[in-house]
Structure 1
């Protein structure tokens, strides 16, 4: 008898992959946008060096990490890849809207390459959060019960017989 606790059976996927994709992207994009509004951070605007404060640091590192965890928990296996999209969509819409409406007095639109660096940084931290979300699911349900892992297993996946000669 093994003293290891029994793994919980992973429930069947609640929706097809494409539906989980859209739900994960929209929910996490909403969370990401609300976090930026709550922190009052506008990455696309440059107000001077004083704009890089603690709320900016939270919006660049912690907020994308939490957003990625949400994506990983909603989407499941493969959430680390889906987690790249919410910051890209939200920050691209913010940049476009600011470019069309104009920057407020005292601020200017940051150059596209500088903005691109910030977007890539957000996307990568969001992907790390997606990995953490996948690991949380793996920790809770175990590895082989995750949706999507069956297609990676070989067709004749059976345990090998034990060598009794040793």
Structure 2
């Protein structure tokens, strides 16, 4: 990952968002593109995309709070509602008034929620893989765990993610 990041050229930065420290990658210039990782991801999973975009766009790739290098606080929720608030706070903190936003899995859901709740902030939305949370007649165990704010990667049972 480190070699990939070096070739792509983004800088790693940290910013306070509420009670969390959020690490993110930033590179390029121009209109802003924000890339959001999925439930089992982190910012460095986007480096190959980043490399393709930074010649034309300013690219921001955060580790969402509770994931990757960003802080994870005991007793905090990392479900969609809490993450949405943090995502909006991140955009405000970075002075980003309007962004193109793309997400994978959980990040896709957050991108869609941002577009619905803060449409003036979103120039466009792209889904890389299907967003998590698309409703089906029968909910999966993983979907139920995520909705409850539990970590499906560790058996889910009562472990907030």
TM bin (shorter chain) = 0.3 to 0.5
Alignment TM-score, normalising by the size of structure 2: 0.32
Is the radius of gyration larger for structure 1 or structure 2? 1
Query: Which of 1 and 2 has higher RCO (CA within 8 Å, sep 6+)?
Result: 1
1 or 2, which has the higher helix percentage?
1
1 or 2, which has the higher strand percentage?
2
